[in-house]
Amino acid sequence: EYKLHIDIFSRNTGILESDIMLEKGALIIGCGSVGSLVALELARAGVGRFFLVDGDIMSYHNICRHQCGIQDVGKFKTTAVKERILQINPTAQVKVQNRMIQEIPLAEFDDFCNHDTIIVGCADNREGDLYADSHLGKVYGMPFISIGCWERAFAGEIFYCLPDGMPAYSDFVAALGESSGRANANTHLYMGDVG
């Protein structure tokens, strides 16, 4: 198993320290088009621990933007992404929760969240990211990143903060006020739909 790990990440040697990366964790909130890309790129970088959170199921309309494919239609997005992570790194530890982060008991995070973990908010709403930064990032001392697209991918935004000494995600959202065009959940508009 260790030789397989060395072979898989041999091209990262000198760029990323594979043994160090194996101990790193990523709590990914939202496993859609952005979250699936982030998760798989982190797996390729050698991150060894994942906690995937998303209650949505893969549909045909997801395929054009998602890292998973037609064979995953009908699966939870977390399951589909977990399978792809394990195809990249069979030694990775991957936990999944098929619901919104606000619905997960905080005790579920105790064994996963620590100073070697980062939160990446990729959900299609701000509420999950706000919750994660305040209830997990600040409590466990973890860096936080929020990545989101505005409606119809007109623009995007990336926010990051360290647990101490930087404005929180709530400060960023308050400063934006009504100027943000970030789409919220269940506001899907597709070609031919009347908005």
pLDDT in 10s for each residue of the chain, 195 residues: 545 555 555 555 554 455 677 889 999 999 988 899 999 999 998 899 999 999 999 888 888 777 887 899 999 999 999 999 999 999 999 999 999 999 999 999 999 999 999 999 998 888 899 999 999 999 999 999 999 877 766 778 889 999 888 888 888 888 877 666 565 554 444 444 444
pTM of the model: 0.82
pLDDT given at position 12:
52
Amino acid at site 32: G
Q: What separation in angstroms does the CA of 74 have from each of 56, 61, 79, 119, 126? A: 10, 12, 10, 26, 26
pLDDT given at position 70:
87
Is the alpha carbon torsion for 38, 35, 109, 8 positive or negative? negative
CB 118 within 8 A of CB 124: no
pLDDT given at position 173:
85
Order the strands of the 25-29 sheet from edge to edge: 93-97, 49-53, 25-29, 117-121, 144-149, 156-161
pLDDT given at position 11:
55
The β-bridge partners of 25 are 49, 117
> For residue 74, how many other CB atoms are within 10 A of its CB?
11
Q: How far apart are CA 9 and CA 166, in angstroms?
A: 33
Q: How far apart are CA 154 and CA 54, in angstroms?
A: 24
